Chains A and B, each alone.
Chain A
Amino acid sequence: MTFVRRAWAVVWKDVLAERRSKETVNAVLFFSVLLLFVFEFTLGADRDRLASVLPGLLWLGVLLAALLGLGRSFVLERENECWEALLLTPGDKSAVYVGKLAGNLLLMALVEAVVLTLFTLFMNVDVGRALPGLLLVLALGTLGIAAVGTLFGAMTAHVRARELLFPVLLLPVLVPVLLAIVKSTEALLAGEPLGVVSHWLKLLVAADVIYVVVGLLTFDVLLEG
């Protein structure tokens, strides 16, 4: 089997399992709706203040949902005792990484679509003109988050107190990505052109390349269990 087909097999397996159980997607989507409630209750009274922190909130929502979803991806493999099967994948193990990464990207894209829609509907964000730029930032940022999240998720599946350690490891590493996406979202929502945030885009591209390459190179070390 080629690399791509092996990766595809992993994605397909995950999508199929998810379509039958709907566990992760349902929980994560419901969680992001609840977050909207929490944001509104804690900050909602003051419209102006809300507007100024909105890019941060948007990403906070996506990030918290991602922490739940990404952390589960490998824990499921372990609970269902499928880890050995993953390990038996023929050839280069980084295909498993690519497959898992793609699955996690799908999940995050779904969450982002929902969160973005909810924000536009319930918090009066005018996405409109900023949308193309926003989607680019969203795509680059999501890849970075998912790349590290997939790598660390495979690791923390084997660790004590994994629910705790996963975010503790992931969040500080993702600081550059978070700063880049929040700052560029802020600028784009304020109506600035994409050129203003070009340095953040450069940073996101560099971060994505570094995270994905490190993931490809080190994943088989983690898959040993």
Chain B
Amino acid sequence: MKGLPLKPKFVAGIAVLALALAYMIYAGVTQSAVYFVTPSELHTAAKTGKAYRLGGMVEKGSVNWKPATLDLRFTLSDGQAKVPVRHHGTAPDLFGEGRGAVVEGTWMSEGYFQATLIMAKHSEEYKAPHDAASPGYQELMKSLRSDQK
């Protein structure tokens, strides 16, 4: 078996493998799928009791947190629509007003979103303090949804 000659079978096989991998990577990079619904999308087709992942920006001035009862309420927005969210428990550090967040939970018939898990969305940018330019709203929404890229 030593010093195997370059059989046509291997050449063809490796070429097909390379093609399949390239195709996979191409399909993967160009695929744009939605990983979570936005508040507007939720409003147009909300099913009560169905589990959703909802992503948006936490509205300024909407966070209402009662440490005694661990009751957290806030509003997620995408610029057009707003969804009131309720959660029982603490929120992660990066969670804050004017920042992106993704919540998992269900849409309740009472007209609010009951979250079982709150995840603060990382910005894709790591910034040193001095080049701080607070990202605009559009940019933040874009970074929230840019996972599709």
Contacts and interface: CB of A to CB of B under 8 A. Distances in A.
So, do A and B actually touch in the complex, CB under 8 Å? yes
A188 to B, nearest CB: 16
A213 B16 contact: yes
Interface residues of B, number: 15
Contacts of A213: 13, 16-17, 20
A17 interface: no
Interface stretch (A80-88, A119-127, A131-139, A203-211): A203-211
Q: Tell me the dominant secondary structure on chain A's binding face.
A: helix
Given A92-B9, A209-B16, A217-B13, A199 B21 contact: no
B27 interface: yes
Given A217-B9, A217-B10, A209 B20 contact: yes
Interface of A: 48, 52, 92, 94, 199, 202-203, 206-207, 209-210, 213-214, 216-217
A210 B33 CA distance: 24
Given A216-B13, A217-B9, A217-B13, A203 B20 contact: no
A173 to B, nearest CB: 15
Nearest to A218: B13
Nearest to B15: A213
Contacts of A92: 9
Contacts, number: 36
Given A199-B31, A206-B20, A216-B13, 8 more contacts: A92-B9, A202-B24, A207-B24, A209-B20, A213-B16, A214-B17, A217-B13, A217-B14
Contacts of A210: 17, 20-21, 24
A42 to B, nearest CB: 20
Contacts of B9: 92, 94, 216-217
Most buried by B among A203, A206, A210, A216: A206
A218 to B, nearest CB: 9
Contacts of A207: 24
24 contacts: A48-B49, A92-B9, A94-B9, A199-B31, A202-B23, A202-B24, A203-B24, A206-B20, A206-B21, A206-B23, A206-B24, A206-B27, A207-B24, A209-B17, A209-B20, A210-B20, A210-B21, A210-B24, A213-B13, A213-B16, A213-B17, A214-B17, A216-B9, A217-B13
Contacts of B20: 206, 209-210, 213
A199 B27 contact: yes
Nearest to B13: A217
A217 B10 CA distance: 7
Interface string B3-32: 000000110011011001101100100010
A161 to B, nearest CB: 28
Nearest to A221: B1
Nearest to A210: B20
B9 to A, nearest CB: 7
Closest 6 CB pairs of A and B: A206-B24, A209-B20, A202-B27, A217-B13, A199-B31, A206-B20
A164 to B, nearest CB: 30
A89 to B, nearest CB: 16
Contact of B27 (A48, A94, A203, A217): A203
